Structure 1
Amino acid sequence: MVNDAITDDLKRRFLEEAQKQGFVAVGFAPAVDDPLRTRRLTEWLDAGFHGDMAWMEDRVDVRRGPASMWPEANSVIALAMSYAPASDPLALESVGDRARISTYAQGADYHDVMKKALKRLARWLVAETEKAGLGDKRLKLFVDTAPVMEKPLAQLAGLGWQGKHTNLVSRDHGSWLFLGAIYSEVAFAPDEPHDDRCGSCTACQRACPTAAFPEPYRLDARRCISYLTIELKGPIPHEFRKAMGNRIYGCDDCLAVCPWNKFAQNAARNRAFLPRAELTAPRLAELLALDDAGFRQLFSGSPIKRIGRDRFVRNCLIAAGNSGDTGLLKPVRALLTDADPVVAEAARWASAELEHFL
């Protein structure tokens, strides 16, 4: 009973400290594996829905849950930061000469922002655990960089539920959440898991431009524009090129139409996630002209930097081909002899598409 009172007080103060560090939602869950989630992951991988993301297959035994990854863990602390946009993410849908970048990638790289905040929280928790007389308790922290199933853990910890678009949905913050986790040897009292509140709504399923959902709660990443523009290294399959429109990095459509977003508050208080002016509605002509040095300079500190100049320009060429703007023919044709064969192929496709409008 004494330890319970101590950990309950520590939990309360941790919540206050997490809020100071910019986290809008925090929940606690037991560090146990989930057989149901494990089965669903195995079925998803067996269906090949992960595409070229071979890292999803690596260490599947560890992905089963916290107990498999770190048996000494007694609690999982799930944390979320909001990046709710101030403007409509779909506003540029029909503006052909401009590119659409997913909301989450218009500001600072969330990996860096969240990891720094989690490290500060971790130091605080270690110090306060020792002060409380609980001994030297170890912990581990994760931000999308390890085989951790953040979304199921967040649901188990009561932060929200995995919606039909497979992302976490919160009653308070909608679909606009970055997730992180701390595994701790401290045995905190768990919070109640969150119920599914999607009901009969199918807005996210109907909004997908490439029909990437074979059924609710199941995503075929091979058809997802986020996968095609970020993870896929080769040519974009022709069957998806027209549907990509002017999306050059990620896709917000299934998130943006979620009715629960009406409760989301703008994340302006976390200035790191405010959109950079040059990324809110960039001109395709300027992006097509980027060489490697220019790409690295423009996207310094951005998650976009990870895909490299060639993959990025490939995406911009698909958007140019879909634009109907013959003014883009010159920068497109300049890439017909690009050193990267994937870029050169995309330039040939875009040039042929634009020539239809001459």
Structure 2
Amino acid sequence: MDNPLNKTLNRKYILNFLEELLQIPSPSGYCMTIMKRLEEEAEKFGYTMERTPKGNGIITIEGSAPSQGTLAYTAHVDTLGAMVRSIKPNGMLRITPIGGYNMHTVEGEYCLIHTRDGRQYEGTVLSTKTSVHVYPDAREWKREEANMEIRIDEATSSKEETEKLGIAVGDIVSWDPRVRILLNGWVKSRHLDDKASVAALFGLLEWMKRTGKKPERTLKLIFSTYEEVGHGNSYMPSDITELIAVDMGAIGDDLSTTERDVSICAKDSSGPYDYEMTSRLVELAKQHQLPYAVDIYPQYGSDASAALRGGSNVRAALIGPGVHASHAMERTHADALVNTAALLLAYLGLSVS
């Protein structure tokens, strides 16, 4: 549904920047390139992105009434991926996952192996029993770490030949995102968790630059690099009093969120989010006619969870675009991205008139 808030946001910019981000490999712990790209984009809008020692980025937008306390919005750039666990005698690679996903969701996926000296090799993730023509139990073979391997697209059939390529234990593996942004607004790709939210936050920056408006409260945008492994935003600057984690809303059994909605999470595995903040977000979604749903995610944690567990003395909430098939072949809709950004604008109290 169109309204003054989402109509003033630059939908094309958000989608174009999202597509670019999705193409940059960034499994947890391997976010150097994508963070550099965020720095460059922030500078285009006149902002500087500070870096924390572990690699998170913080953009500060000074408010007109900073005495009201600092609000932070956080999203994560790190994604699922893998690491080389060992090189097998046949030259293929055994992997260990980065982040939590089912192995069957990456079977048959193209990937890149990133060596520590900067080389990249293509490969494919396969079951160790690859073909029903060869293995009678190929269909029943359990898709688990020990039964999966990467076939490298190089002439190698031994451990020694693979090592000569420069591939070693501890090298990062990233999945082909397979990005598709359709004319009807559907967006399907790996890693919409959480690059969709990152693009939405940069949509706010683009809006502020274009309109010349800024919030009354000082706003910090925090981009974390270790969310998928649980400690992305465990440290936060001490001036922050309120934190909204912007992360994907899960879709499925017992849940109300759709791919066109803003998901407002009332409780996840870390417990309930701040009652007053969550209520305010619901009120604003209603007021501005933004499609939304309130859900409970018992198998879910966020960067707000990490901040609270890390000892941050803040109130926290969680929202984000609805994403189907999370941690697998994900899909959302452009409406959900724009409406998420619109709700964040409304929470800032920014007028579009």
Q: TM-score, normalised by structure 1?
A: 0.27
More strand by share: 2
Q: Which has the higher contact order (CA 8 A, sep 6+)?
A: 2
More helix by share: 1
